[in-house]
Each structure stands twice: as structure tokens, then as C-alpha cells.
Amino acid sequence: MYQEFYGFKESPFALTPDPRFIYFTPSHIEVMANLHYGIESGKGLVVVTGEVGTGKTTVLRWMLQRLDRTVLVAYLFNPRLTVPEFYQHLAALLDIQGWETKSDFLLALGKVLDSRHARGLRTVLLIDEAQGLSPYVLEEIRLLSNFESDTSKQLQIVLSAQPELGAVLKNPDLRQLKQRVALRCEIKPLPNVEETERYIVSRLLVAEAERTDIFSPGAIEYIFRCSEGIPRQINNLCDNALLIGFASGEPSINKAIVEEAASSLDMLPRGERSDRNTDDREAAPPARILTAAGRAELWSAGHPSTQSAASESNPSPLAMRDEISLEPLDLKGEEIPFRRTSVGRGM
């Protein structure tokens, strides 16, 4: 919608993990190096972790597009499977046919792995969103890592997951799997405003933007604060800010536009969110629905014994209200029987 207005060939901040838009931070480079070394050297089990939206899937897809054709990859991106479903899915990905039982499958898989390994070929099982794997499937993955020669693993396994996988691996029942992790690396959020600016500019360049100064320095600083350096959050903020800017006819995106986008996405910086919550807690209590005279009349109608005393001293309704409000309720005494009043019946 806004592409023509801002001079883009395509949307620069789509939320899909398009490898063309990958931006290499130091942690991305470290992850790539670990994946390359782990697979090429036959290390067996590699674990990649990162917070939601930091670009794990983008890294995996970038790597998949650049693997040599001699590498056979089974890429599993929906890990919420039972053990039988896991093996059926793995068999389909590796094109292993003619099996009926788990034993049949393992025998056929062993032959495939042994044949490929003897020819110097690599076979990789790559599982995204691995924090969703059940303990039973994780145990099966550990057993799959037993396919090995005297010098290296025949099946390379990569688990890409959110940080919660670390807690899963601390389960005593999975300690054998944890001990088999040969390499572990982490994708981290962008560390500062400068890196955030370079990230935004790199995506604009891939989208063939006519200019890269669309976002003001104040807008970029606010984007970093709202997103906490998480690329997916940056993309979402920038995309919505561009939409707001287009609707307003603004050629550049300033902090006010980003703030409007962040507010609609519930992504305001933590301090500002807490301030708003505090304001809500300190709001004035609801106003009374009856006037002072009305409250006094209602009280008198419900307590006839007080009417004579009230008529003698003839206090004002406001004074009667103050007196009534100071009278404590006796919650420990006898239960007061329900008494009809003359309110609404005419006196």
C-alpha cells in the first residue's frame, strides 16, 4: 500500500523469514560459524537458541539455501508430534519407504546413513521450534544420535529453539541428551540504536528504496526502545509506522508517528507503560449517585426511630449525612431483621 509512496520495490519490513533480508550481527555470524563447523565436522548435536523474533528461522533458511546439493536435509518446522508421527514425518522427508514398524524404519535409516557417510556425504535433521518437542520425542532424537562411525556422527542434528529449551534440557530424564550437545550458540537482540539503524537501512536497501533516511534519528531511537532490539518487533513497528505515515501524507517517519504505531501495537517502552498503569490506579473514585438530601431521606426512611430526633434538632441533610457516615456498623451483634421501608411507596 505504501510502497509506491515511499519508493520501495517491495515491502521492506514483512514478518516472513525471507533469507534475502538477513542482517548479520556478531551473534548471527557466530551461529553460522557453529552450524557450518558442526555439520561439516560431524559433531552430531548442535543447539541454537534465541528469544522470540530474533531471526532463528531466517538463519536456518539462509543456510538451507546455501548448502551443497550433497547435503540431505530433513527440515521439521512443526515439532508438536507424537513419536509415531515424528518417525512418519522423518521417513517422508528422507524418502525412506517400505517400512511398517519403528524397527523397520531404523534399519532402513541405518542403511541410508551408512551408505551416505561412506561416500563422504552429510545427512542433517534440522528441527525448528524445538522447545515444543515432547520429552518422548527428545529421547528418540537422542537415540538417533547413536548412528555414528568410529570417528564421526552419521546424522547431524540441529535444534533451533527459544530459551525455554534450556529449562527442558535440565530435566534429569534428559541428562543423556544434554550431555550429547556438542555445540551451543545463541542469537541475541540488536544491542543498541546504531545497530538498529543499520538493520533498518539494510532492509530498505534490499527493498531497493529510493532513499534510506525515511526514519528520523528520533524515530529510530524510539523504535529501539520499544522493540528492545528484537528484529521482528522492529519490522512490525516500522511497517505500521510507514502505514500511518502514508495515511497522513508524511514523507518521513518521526518519533510521533512511531509512538502512535507503538501504542496501537501495545509496544510502548516499559517505563511509559508503567506510568500509564499508575495513572489508571490513581484515578478518582466514582461519584455518588444521590444528592446529600436524597441520601439523608433514604436513611431516614429506613430508620424511623431517628426521624423524631431529626425533627427536634432539624439538622441539615448534609450534617445528617456526615453524622451517619461516622456511625460504625455493628457486625458482631444481633442480626438485624429485614425491614420494609416506605421508599418509593409514598409517605
In a domain, 161, yes or no: yes
In a domain, 295, yes or no: no
Q: Which pLDDT score is estimated for 149?
A: 84
Q: Which pLDDT score is estimated for 30?
A: 92
DSSP 153: B
Domain final position from 187, 203, 233: 187
Give me the percent of the chain exceeding a pLDDT of 90. 71
Q: Which pLDDT score is estimated for 150?
A: 82
Contact 252, 213 (CB under 8 A): yes
Q: Which domain holds residue 38?
A: 26-187
Nearest C-alpha neighbor of 110 from the set 151, 157, 147, 60? 147
Domain final position from 246, 269, 292: 269
Average pLDDT, the chain: 84
Asked whether residue 165 falls in the same domain as residue 225, the answer is: no
Residue 296 has pLDDT above 60, yes or no: yes
Contact 153, 42 (CB under 8 A): yes
Could you tell me how many residues make up the chain? Answer: 347
**How many structural domains are present in the chain?**
2
Q: Which pLDDT score is estimated for 28?
A: 92
Q: Which pLDDT score is estimated for 115?
A: 94
In a domain, 292, yes or no: no
Asked whether residue 66 falls in the same domain as residue 175, the answer is: yes
In a domain, 283, yes or no: no
Helix (H, G, I), strand (E, B) or coil at 244: helix
Residue 228 has pLDDT above 70, yes or no: yes
Residue 256 has pLDDT above 60, yes or no: yes
Asked whether residue 175 falls in the same domain as residue 125, the answer is: yes
Pairwise CA distance, residues 338 & 347, whole Å? 20
Least confident of 93-102, 153-162, 213-222, 308-317: 308-317
In tens, the pLDDT along 148-172 reads 988 889 999 999 999 999 999 999 9
Q: Which pLDDT score is estimated for 210?
A: 93
- For 255-306, the DSSP string reads HHHHHHHHHHTT---HHHHHHHHHHHHTPPPPPPSS-HHHHHHHHHHH-THH
* Cβ-based burial of 121 (10 A; exposed 0-12, middle 13-18, buried ≥19): middle
In a domain, 133, yes or no: yes
Nearest C-alpha neighbor of 77 from the set 21, 14, 126? 126
In a domain, 201, yes or no: yes
In a domain, 324, yes or no: no
Average pLDDT over residues 164-186: 92
Q: For residue 344, how far is the Cα from the chain centroid?
A: 57
Beta bridge partners of residue 215, listed in sequence order:
253
Domain final position from 244, 269, 294: 269
Place of cell 541428551: 177
CATH number of domain containing 152: 3.40.50.300
pLDDT band (50, 70, 90) for residue 270:
confident
Q: Cα torsion for 82, 85, 89, 92, to the nearest 10°?
A: 160
Asked whether residue 215 falls in the same domain as residue 102, the answer is: no
Asked whether residue 209 falls in the same domain as residue 161, the answer is: no
DSSP β-ladder status, 72-76 and 181-187: unpaired
Asked whether residue 221 falls in the same domain as residue 149, the answer is: no
Give me the percent of the chain exceeding a pLDDT of 70. 78
In a domain, 166, yes or no: yes
Asked whether residue 10 falls in the same domain as residue 86, the answer is: no
